[in-house]
Amino acid sequence: MRHFLDISQLSEDDVLKLIARANDFKQQSTSLSSVMAMYNDYTVANLFYENSTRTRISFELAAKKLGLSCINFDLERSSVSKGETIEDTFRTLMAMGVDLFVLRHQENGIFNRLSSICDSVHLINAGEGNKAHPSQAMIDMMTILEYKKELSQLKIVVIGDVKHSRVAHSFQQVCALMSVGELVFVAPPKWLPKEMSFGRMTSSLQDGLSNADVVMCLRIQHERLDTGDELDLDTYRRSYALNAATLKLAQKNAIVMHPGPINRGVEIDNEVADGLQSCILQQVKNGVFMRMAIFDRLLSLRS
């Protein structure tokens, strides 16, 4: 595997191996000093054309824990403001010896454009338009498997702005690959996509939440709403917010997830976000280890 771009490039075995490797790093069952000795000549560049806290910092921490040098590309102070194309930015950094590129970009298809000039380096998708966020999907699957063992027996519900969410898209791919029992997307009609290749869609929160084992909330993707997609936040909140009362519809031992950033008081209330069933910070923690596993996978298969 040269690049890590989409869940569709992975098999079920790949997913399980990445999760096992991430757990090795998490449980410190792999000697980091030997891994660092293998990887300390490599340099990773983090290029975020959209804002990020979790993804950017966890890729940086993951790189540093593996002994890689890490450059955080400063978009505001870069020559992008002078008209440099992304292709030329990549060519420039490749000429300087960057080996791995972690890229977040608003354009669907940006990785197809770049992969033709990146055959000697590794590209990692850290968020692509509304299309894909594959490392987040891997983190979410890793987290679910920490709490729930039988994926085929699970009901997972994803509530929120499904239509504009790259997290939802990659998550349904990984759920399909791992044969999750039931996947339900809940959103107001205008925030449901025309189709999903796996799982069913409903606008009824009660239908979605009823007996769910895993409840994932999504934030409203304000930056990707088209004209006509806007919805009054109070209206949304009244019908779709996850709070102590609505969470009671799910199984008693349901876990609550959110890829972040969370908008407290909109899609999720404090009592649930900070409650005993919340795994939100566990997802964040797992992000570092899963991203270590992704770097390790790309570098260990390097030909």
Site string for ligand CP, 200-239 (x = CB under 6 A): ----------------------------------------
Answer yes or no whether residue 52 interacts with ligand CP by CB under 6 A.
yes
- Which residue is listed with tokens 């899609």? 267
Among 98, 143, 260, 289, binds ligand CP (CB under 6 A): 260
Q: What is the dihedral of CA 228, 194, 254, 152, to 10 degrees?
A: -170
Q: Which CB atom, from 89 or from 136, has the smaller least distance to ligand CP?
A: 136
Per CB under 6 A, does 125 bind ligand CP?
A: no
- The structure tokens listed for 7 are 């869940």
- Report the candidate in 163, 174, 254 with the shortest Cα–Cα distance to residue 215: 254
Stretch that binds ligand CP, among 48-56, 142-150, 211-219, 264-272 (CB under 6 A): 48-56
Among 46, 125, 130, 136, binds ligand CP (CB under 6 A): 136
- Please tell me whether residue 55 binds ligand CP under the rule CB under 6 A: yes
Question: Residue 113 — left, alpha, or beta (φ > 0 → left; ψ -120 to 50 → alpha)?
Answer: alpha
- The order of strands in the sheet holding 214-217 is 200-202, 182-186, 155-159, 214-217, 255-257
Site string for ligand CP, 261-300 (x = CB under 6 A): x---------------------------------------
Q: The tokens of 110 are what?
A: 């940006």
Smallest distance, ligand CP to C-beta of residue 127, A: 6
Contact yes or no for 194/232 (Cβ under 8 A): no
Q: Which CB sits closer to ligand CP, 55 or 130?
A: 55
Q: SS3 of 115, please?
A: helix
Residues within the interface to ligand CP (CB under 6 A) = 52-55, 127, 136, 259-261
